[in-house]
């Protein structure tokens, strides 16, 4: 299993996909580790703390730069779709859950505040990670 950060950039994604295709080409499942919110690429997830969000097939007959970019983009789309469904802001976490102890453990990333440029960065949390912590 390979753990990657959610904020991985395009070049790092391409390098990761290239290494995976060259070393062990097969179909990978993309999952979220609910303990820390990181993305995990693996073949079989039996533990309850993995939430499978998609799969990516790296069995390729032709390997060139274009196929690496396509597979890296496919991985990005899977991550982006999951983030759009599960990330919530700090005020929403406080209103829904009201517990401060989980906020440090469930923090996923900081983003530039889209509403006010002079405001501090927004803190985003994963709803599924919080639910797993509260279980």
pLDDT (tens digit per residue) in 67-90: 888 888 898 899 889 988 888 888
- Per-residue pLDDT of 35-68, as tens digits, reads 888 889 888 888 888 988 988 888 877 778 888 8
pTM of the model: 0.80
Tokens 């927004």 belong to which residue? 122
Q: Read off the tokens for 46.
A: 């039996």
State which H helix or E strand residue 41 sits in.
strand 39-42
Please tell me the predicted confidence (pLDDT) of residue 100.
67
- Could you tell me if 6 and 87 are in contact, meaning their C-beta atoms sit under 8 angstroms apart? no
Q: What is the pLDDT of residue 95?
A: 86
Domain ranges of the chain: 2-86, 88-134
Angle formed by the axes of helices 10-23 and 65-86, nearest 10° = 120
């Amino acid at each position: 299993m390979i753990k990657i950060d959610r904020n991985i950039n395009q070049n790092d994604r391409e390098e990761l996909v290239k290494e995976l295709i060259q070393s062990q080409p097969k179909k990978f499942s993309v999952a979220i580790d609910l303990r820390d919110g990181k993305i995990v690429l693996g073949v079989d997830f039996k533990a309850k703390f993995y939430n499978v969000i998609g799969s990516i097939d790296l069995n390729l007959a032709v390997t060139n730069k274009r196929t690496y970019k396509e597979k890296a983009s496919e991985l990005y789309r899977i991550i982006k779709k999951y983030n759009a469904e599960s990330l919530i802001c700090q005020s929403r976490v406080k209103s829904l859950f009201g517990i401060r102890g989980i906020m440090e453990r469930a923090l996923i990333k900081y983003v530039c505040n889209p509403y006010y440029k002079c405001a501090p960065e927004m803190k985003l949390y994963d709803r599924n990670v919080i639910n797993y912590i509260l279980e």
